[in-house]
Amino acid sequence: MADILLSDALRLAINVLRDVAESRKMPSGVAVDQAVAELHADAAETLETSLGGLVEHEKSDPDN
């Protein structure tokens, strides 16, 4: 498994959520309705907010 920080994995997940919200398609190509697209956008925003604190924590952690 690749050596990846939790913040990097979270950024990747946020990008996937945003892609679904913008394209209105799941990564598999299945179309989603407006409600599901908005749910993905809201989830991405929530994770983005959490990411700031995580990055600060990782910077202060000598093991990272």
Q: What is the pLDDT along the chain (64 residues), one digit of tens a residue?
A: 678 888 899 999 999 999 999 999 999 999 999 999 999 999 999 999 988 888 777 777 767 6
Q: What is the pLDDT of residue 12?
A: 96
User: Do residues 47 and 17 lie in contact, with contact meaning Cβ atoms separated by under 8 Å?
Assistant: yes
User: Do residues 55 and 2 lie in contact, with contact meaning Cβ atoms separated by under 8 Å?
Assistant: no
* DSSP 8-class letter at 24: S
> Would you say residue 1 lies in a domain?
no
> Would you say residue 16 lies in a domain?
yes
Domain that holds residue 42: 6-60
Q: Is the pTM of this model over 0.75?
A: yes
What is the distance between the alpha carbons of residues 34 and 52, in angstroms, rounded to a whole number? 28
> Would you say residue 22 lies in a domain?
yes
> Would you say residue 26 lies in a domain?
yes
What is the distance between the alpha carbons of residues 32 and 51, in angstroms, rounded to a whole number? 26
Question: Which amino acid would we find at residue 47?
Answer: L
Q: What is the pLDDT of residue 53?
A: 80
SS3 52: helix
How many domains does the structure of the chain reveal?
A: 1
Q: What is the pLDDT of residue 64?
A: 60
